[in-house]
Structure 1
Amino acid sequence: MKQPEHVMHDFSYGAVEDASGLPARVAIFADNGPARAQIEEDLSGAGFRTVDGGAISNLLDGPITLMGDVVMVDCPLVDAGALAALARLDMRVARAGAKLIVITAIDALDAVFGSLDQSDPQILVQPTRGERIVAVGRVLADIGNSRVREMTEEDRLSLLHLSRQVEAIASKLEGLTGSSGGAASPQSALRAHAEKGQSTAGAVAPSQTPSLSNSPRAAMPDPRLVRGMIAARQARSKFFEAELFADPAWDMLLDLTAAKAERQQVSVTSLCIAAEVPATTALRWIKQLVDTGVFLRVADPSDRRRAFIALSEQSSDAMARYFAEVEMPLLQQAA
């Protein structure tokens, strides 16, 4: 299908290279043909070489040949076949040292997250067209860093140029398209999930927890106290813009602390809800905190396709000690 000419003329950029100077190539898989074509057009316009991988079922039938440094899968809906394809791709991408980007919807997030445990993927929840381009730029920067043992000053400047170029293209695309097709935003979808009565759990920030191995362990706080603190924080948005107080790391830590005291498991979706930021942003926080050992990814023993997020022992102890220090002043204020 012929694309509008203004789209073709607005993006006349040269081929993008990763930080090691190799041509950037992205393989795209999606069951929705028009969606796959739009992703290919946007990435090609941004200077990336693309390969049309076809439907997601192609990942399951026969051998997988990774056709690029990056594999992008658009998977807003999942069934058993799609999850099997993602799990197989996850294993192959991890073995090949490539990068995986999976686009999904909030309703499918837990299933998608649970099926991807080897390749360290980027998961985007209902992203805009610009956010897709930025995601590819980010993973290409990671690939370049892993390939170049010692980056020269020229390498660093090339990487900076790549990052700026990709973000400029994404911004320009967002200016042309406005909101993405009138679809509900990830944040509104999260709110809809919360209104259905799903439990919420907190997001995380990439900070280091101090070592407490030589100190006696403190008891977890009363979960009612923690939930009260969360409610008080959320009430601020009734009177001020919520962005003024965005602190996903602390909000997730609070919610995971309450959940641990309540002996409740926390899904990645409910953790994103508690973060009170767009789901894709919350997922980046979660990934960083899992990588640094603040959070743990815990497999569901009854269903290997599911995974939960929990506090590490060190983080649990740190939160217990924090509340032991502040609990008395909080109780005095409430009295």
Structure 2
Amino acid sequence: MATTTTTTVVSSGRELTNPPSDGISNIRFSNHSDHLLVSSWDKTVRLYDATADFLRGEFLHGGPVLDCCFHDDSSGFSASADNTVRRLIFATGKEDILGKHDAPVRCVEYSYAAGQLITGSWDKTIKCWDPRGASGQERTLVGTYAQPERVYSLSLVGHRLVVATAGRHVNVYDMRNMSCPEQRRESSLKYQTRCVRCYPNGTGYALSSVEGRVAMEFFDLSEASQAKKYAFKCHRKSEAGRDIVYPVNAMAFHPIYGTFATGGCDGFVNVWDGNNKKRLYQYSKYPSSVAALSFSRDGRLLAVASSYTFEEGPKPHDQDAIYVRSVNEIEVKPKPKALPNPTA
């Protein structure tokens, strides 16, 4: 992917007060407001008003919280290393236990199309829940679906669910028929998957790895569509004649323009135009690894979790922090392709 149009943006954004005290596992903007949900290894889920820099609520869990997502502005869900799936009620500060996995729950996504919660676990299963049912596992569990390996990342677009696991497996489901995957794939990247995110237009997904690469994939299996897929290098630098490669921890698509941001263990956030295969912007370096990213519902804000992800083992590192930056249209809007000069 070409990087000749890259511009570096100096501002890191506004740092939120009262950040988590241990590694930030994920950050999510609401689909209805500028509320921000944050899960952390300090066993908490925090709810912020991102524009007012106000901590609206905090939920303490029995173990590290590995993921979180919104249901609506009154409730959300969490996935915890204590194997538990919880619904969090923001107004009362209370929680319901929807059920459990047999190992830590790594990721959680709410499907507005299906009205179901999907959780992925290191027990090599995904589970679908109906959060509208009464509390208690038997009354809310819709189904359990075996996966080839531990689940690392989930992503949804419409009725499509993409499940990325250890061993570089990728399963694509139609949530209207979960009996078996619509497609069973293998990552086109050679190394462990870190993150999967579906394109907002529903045509495919991006996959990132620990080896500083992102693959752009398409659901349509026709030869013409598969010919469009590609992978590119990112989050790496040359030093003393050798390449230093950083894991790509996070990706987030802009809801309006379909461009996307990547965050790596190098502390940088890059914005990419996938259609034109160009890097649009690079933000100034953050104090630590970029662990998670989220655009607000209208794309005006980008939340960045600067949080050491222990890729080099225990060592002194900067305090975990969450930055919220205002997004300028020029940073995320694809540049029009230059027309050929007819007189050339």
The two structures have a TM-score, normalised by structure 2, of 0.24
Higher strand content, 1 or 2: 2
Higher helix content, 1 or 2: 1
The two structures have a TM-score, normalised by structure 1, of 0.24
> For the pair shown, which has the larger CA radius of gyration, 1 or 2?
1
